[in-house]
């Protein structure tokens, strides 16, 4: 045997004594069979098969010596079990090492494992994914998820399924020490000061321009318009020809007028020494339910040199107005909708989760699959794409400096309970009902997916917080919330305090508040990112369709422009190629679909059933 465990096999000759009435032959047979019967009895006590799964991340394997103990429900523990084979490399990265353990006499149902290692060898660090213990007689399987780097010379205890609230954990001191170590590892870094083919045929069509607002990479701005803002220089006579016989007021009353407005990009510096324009566009929902642009104003305030462009303007003048609008929209998309509100903001949430929730916490396990690769992707992206002189500086009008400024402004208005919950965000813009805006694919998909996320989260959260006291006493959960809203300069995530549920009492006081918070985070990591990311190649690869970069300032009058003016504004061939290559890579799907987790963190039968449903 490779494993060192207590041998439950009775001594030779042990067994029931002979009855006085038995024949000599029967007595002799029983005596001869005694060791065999005793061995069979010992097998019903159960030998075990221990499988140790090492993680597949870089440096996960170990050369250290490893030991463990099993503990049962009544507090009994096994002898020390050695988890190393002689002359064999165990615990290699991404591999499973298996060990046979002799039966343990009078041992009950396994409740937890105790695991430790030394620091032998050059590569003694070890990331343990899980340990599985199977009773060889009954086939019963016990799963102990670790998902941790195991420090040297520390005995680490993990309970069955390892999914327990902080105040219910029998090893609270171990849990506190682990979080102290993790807070030294997971620290906040301010990347940003004060912040965290079809189009080739249709790109210049007004209907396509409208479709970009509801099914493109930035479908988060379209808003029902009930009154024209004072800053928008639209007059009745300008747009009446496009309203199918209605007046502008009548069209607004009938919910046929929509608007997009991007004020936070106004005045942001460009790489061309100009400043960005915060554009506005007005749309009319026609009888065919097509969202048609009827007016564009490229800067925020009315002025003689800031005209309202119309579909009746000279053709190339109108096309260029749409291109410059899309350029400001693209700068907002890449800065806020994509990088700022998904990658960077959710990285802060990831760090906060590692710092405050134990890996044994049910909510850590619930959110962890959605944080997969996030920190690594951001680190790589910041260093390769968003560094000075890098991809963003070469292909996006605002460059890195302008991008960071837009993100800073965007974070000042982003709220988790509004913008992180698709239904709330869409309702705040007046376009929740299909009766108002029939064709809005982002809305229809996002709301359904979010509902599925929330249903799953609610089942799990209600299961673990089955009493108000458990919620009230969960100090890890409340510390997590505190750090979510703590200002960034005070080493917090900096979410708007009013946007995180529980503001009234300064803490979570109901299960619904926890469900809404966790659901919004998972949604932003999945639904929000998918909407902003996976169509980038389709939108950006042909620059006139959705230009990330344009030379020259936008037009200041409505004189007739030419195709040559369009070509003169477009990025260089090299910049276009750079944009095509990166957006193609970014649009590639490199991970599993939502719910099909690459790493399984939750093994409790109820949680597995909830995920399957």
pLDDT digits (tens, 9 = 90+) for 133-171: 999 989 999 999 999 999 999 999 999 999 999 999 999
Residue 131 CB partners (closer than 8 Å, separation 6+): 50, 51, 52, 53, 68, 113, 115, 143, 144, 146, 158
Residues 146 and 258 in one domain: no
Cβ–Cβ under 8 Å, residues 186 and 348: no
Query: How confident is residue 438, by pLDDT bands cut at 50, 70 and 90?
Result: very high
Q: For position 31, which CATH number holds?
A: 2.60.60.20
Tokens representing 590 are 């490199």
Cβ–Cβ under 8 Å, residues 570 and 547: yes
Q: Is residue 441 part of a domain?
A: yes
Q: Is residue 4 part of a domain?
A: no
Cβ–Cβ under 8 Å, residues 258 and 291: yes
CB neighbours (10 Å) of residue 245?
A: 8
What is the 3-state secondary structure of 415-479?
A: CHHHHCCHHHHHHHCCCCCCCCCCCCHHHHHHHHHHHHHHHHHHHHHHHHCCCHHHHHHCHHHHH
Residues 446 and 543 in one domain: yes
Q: What is the pLDDT of residue 479?
A: 97
User: What is the rounded distance in angstroms from the CA atom of residue 220 to the CA atom of residue 335?
Assistant: 13
Q: Is residue 189 part of a domain?
A: no
Q: List strand residue ranges (DSSP E) for 27-65, in order.
A: 48-54
Q: Which of 39-43, 431-435, 513-517 has the lowest mean pLDDT?
A: 39-43
Q: What is the pLDDT of residue 24?
A: 53
Tokens representing 325 are 């609008």
Q: Is pLDDT of 460 > 70? A: yes
- Residue 106 burial (CB < 10 Å; 0-12/13-18/19+)? exposed
Tokens representing 373 are 């690769």
Q: Where a domain ends, among 162, 178, 201?
A: 162
CB neighbours (10 Å) of residue 518?
A: 21
Q: Is pLDDT of 14 > 60? A: no
Residues 88 and 229 in one domain: no
The predicted model gives 293-303 an average pLDDT of 98
Tokens representing 144 are 């102990």
pLDDT tens-place string over residues 310-330: 999 999 999 999 999 999 999
Q: Where in the sequence is the domain holding 58, given as residue range(s)? A: 24-162
How many CA atoms within 13 Å lie on the side-chain side of 577? 3
Nearest to 485 by CA among 375, 363, 349: 349
3-state secondary structure at position 582:
helix
Q: Is residue 243 part of a domain?
A: yes
User: What is the rounded distance in angstroms from the CA atom of residue 266 to the CA atom of residue 155?
Assistant: 57
Decide the pairing of beta strands 280-285 and 257-261.
antiparallel
Q: Is pLDDT of 19 > 90? A: no
Question: pTM of the entire structure?
Answer: 0.85
Residues 140 and 236 in one domain: no
Q: Is residue 205 part of a domain?
A: no
The predicted model gives 504-527 an average pLDDT of 96
Q: Is pLDDT of 200 > 70? A: no
Q: Is residue 121 part of a domain?
A: yes
Residues 120 and 224 in one domain: no
Residues 240 and 111 in one domain: no
Cβ–Cβ under 8 Å, residues 213 and 260: yes
Q: What angle do CA 282, 288, 292 make, to 5 degrees?
A: 20
Q: Is pLDDT of 58 > 50? A: yes
Phi, psi of 187 (to 5 degrees): -125, 150
Tokens 């870089």 correspond to: 58
Q: Which of 37-51, 388-402, 505-519, 544-558 has the lowest mean pLDDT?
A: 37-51
Express as a percent the part of the chain with pLDDT over 90: 81
End-to-end CA gap in the chain: 43
Residues 233 and 154 in one domain: no
Q: What is the pLDDT of residue 591?
A: 83
Query: How confident is residue 18, by pLDDT bands cut at 50, 70 and 90?
Result: very low
Q: Where a domain ends, among 143, 162, 181?
A: 162
**Total of domains in the chain:** 2
User: What is the rounded distance in angstroms from the CA atom of residue 610 to the CA atom of residue 456?
Assistant: 6
pLDDT tens-place string over residues 521-566: 999 999 999 999 999 999 999 999 999 999 999 999 999 999 999 9
Q: Is residue 349 part of a domain?
A: yes
Taking CA atoms, 589 is separated from 72, 334, 535, 583, in Å, by 44, 18, 11, 12
DSSP state, 11?
Answer: P
Tokens representing 75 are 């507090």
Residues 441 and 531 in one domain: yes
Residues 133 and 280 in one domain: no
Query: How confident is residue 192, by pLDDT bands cut at 50, 70 and 90?
Result: low
Q: Is pLDDT of 7 > 70? A: no
CA 322 to chain centre: 33
Q: Is residue 198 part of a domain?
A: no
Query: Can you give the length of the chain in residues?
Result: 613
- Residue 61 burial (CB < 10 Å; 0-12/13-18/19+)? buried
Residue 570 CB partners (closer than 8 Å, separation 6+): 543, 544, 547, 550, 551, 576
Residues 235 and 152 in one domain: no
User: How far is it between the farthest Cα atoms of the chain?
Assistant: 121
Query: How confident is residue 382, by pLDDT bands cut at 50, 70 and 90?
Result: confident
CB neighbours (10 Å) of residue 117?
A: 26
Q: Which of 114-118, 122-126, 582-586, 592-596 has the lowest mean pLDDT?
A: 592-596
Helix (H) or strand (E) holding 405: helix 399-411
User: What is the rounded distance in angstroms from the CA atom of residue 180 to the CA atom of residue 164?
Assistant: 18
Query: How confident is residue 31, by pLDDT bands cut at 50, 70 and 90?
Result: low
Q: Where a domain ends, among 115, 136, 162?
A: 162
Tokens 């996960």 correspond to: 60
Residues 319 and 448 in one domain: yes
Helix (H) or strand (E) holding 66: strand 66-72
Nearest to 474 by CA among 506, 451, 446, 507: 507
Q: What is the pLDDT of residue 46?
A: 60
Nearest to 359 by CA among 65, 158, 587: 158
Residues 436 and 547 in one domain: yes
Tokens representing 353 are 């989760």
């Amino acid at each position: 045997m490779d494993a060192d465990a207590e041998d439950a096999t009775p001594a030779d000759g042990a067994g029931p004594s002979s009855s006085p009435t038995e024949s000599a032959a029967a007595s002799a047979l029983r005596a001869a069979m005694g060791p065999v019967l005793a061995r069979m009895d010992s097998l019903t006590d159960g030998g075990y098969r221990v499988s140790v799964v090492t993680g597949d991340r870089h440096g996960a394997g170990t050369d250290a010596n490893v030991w463990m103990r099993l503990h049962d429900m009544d507090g009994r523990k096994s002898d020390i079990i050695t988890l190393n084979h002689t002359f064999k490399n165990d615990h290699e990265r991404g591999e499973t090492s298996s060990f046979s353990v002799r039966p343990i006499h009078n041992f009950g149902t396994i409740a937890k494992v105790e695991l430790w290692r030394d620091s032998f060898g050059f590569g003694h660090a070890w990331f343990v994914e899980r340990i599985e213990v199977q009773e060889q007689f009954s086939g019963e399987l016990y799963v102990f998820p670790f998902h941790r780097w195991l420090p040297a010379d520390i005995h680490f205890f993990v309970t069955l399924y390892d999914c327990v609230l902080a105040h219910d954990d029998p090893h609270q001191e171990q849990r506190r020490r682990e979080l102290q170590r993790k807070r030294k590892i997971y620290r906040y870094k301010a990347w940003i000061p004060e912040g965290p083919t079809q189009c080739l045929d249709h790109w210049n069509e007004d209907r396509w321009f409208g479709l970009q607002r509801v099914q493109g990479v930035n479908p988060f701005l379209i808003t029902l318009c009930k009154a024209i803002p004072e800053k928008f220089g639209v007059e009745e006579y300008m747009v009446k020809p496009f309203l199918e016989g209605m007046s502008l007021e009548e069209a607004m009353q009938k919910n046929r007028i929509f608007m997009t407005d991007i004020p936070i990009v106004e005045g942001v510096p460009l790489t061309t020494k100009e400043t960005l324009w915060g554009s506005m566009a007005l749309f009319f929902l026609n009888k065919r339910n097509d969202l048609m642009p009827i007016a564009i104003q490229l800067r925020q305030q009315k002025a003689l040199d800031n005209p309202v462009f119309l579909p009746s303007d000279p053709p190339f003048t109108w096309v260029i107005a749409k291109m410059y609008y899309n350029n400001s929209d693209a700068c907002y998309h890449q800065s806020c909708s994509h990088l700022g509100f998904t990658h960077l903001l959710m990285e802060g949430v990831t760090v906060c989760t590692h710092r405050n929730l134990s890996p044994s916490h049910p909510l850590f396990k619930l959110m962890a699959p959605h944080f997969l690769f996030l920190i690594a992707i951001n680190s790589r992206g910041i260093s390769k794409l968003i560094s000075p002189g890098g991809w963003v500086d070469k292909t996006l009008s605002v460059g890195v400096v302008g991008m960071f400024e837009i993100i800073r402004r965007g974070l000042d208005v982003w709220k988790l309970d509004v913008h992180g919950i698709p239904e709330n965000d869409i309702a705040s813009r007046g376009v929740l009902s299909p009766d108002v805006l029939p064709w809005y694919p982002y809305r229809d998909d996002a709301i359904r997916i979010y509902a599925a996320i929330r249903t799953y989260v609610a089942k799990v959260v209600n299961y673990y917080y089955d009493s108000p006291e458990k919620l009230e006493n969960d100090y890890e959960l409340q510390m997590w919330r505190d750090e979510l809203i703590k200002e960034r300069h005070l080493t917090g995530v900096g979410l708007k305090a009013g946007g995180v549920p529980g503001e009234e009492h300064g803490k979570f006081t109901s299960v619904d508040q926890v469900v809404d918070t966790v659901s919004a985070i998972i949604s932003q990591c999945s639904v929000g990112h998918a909407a902003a990311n996976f169509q980038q190649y389709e939108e950006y690869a042909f620059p006139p369709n959705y230009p990330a970069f344009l030379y020259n300032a936008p037009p200041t009058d409505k004189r007739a422009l030419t195709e040559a003016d369009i070509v003169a504004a477009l990025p260089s061939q090299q910049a276009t190629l750079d944009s095509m290559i990166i957006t193609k890579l970014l649009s590639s799907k490199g991970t599993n679909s939502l719910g099909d987790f690459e790493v399984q963190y939750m093994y409790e039968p109820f949680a597995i059933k909830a995920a399957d449903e």
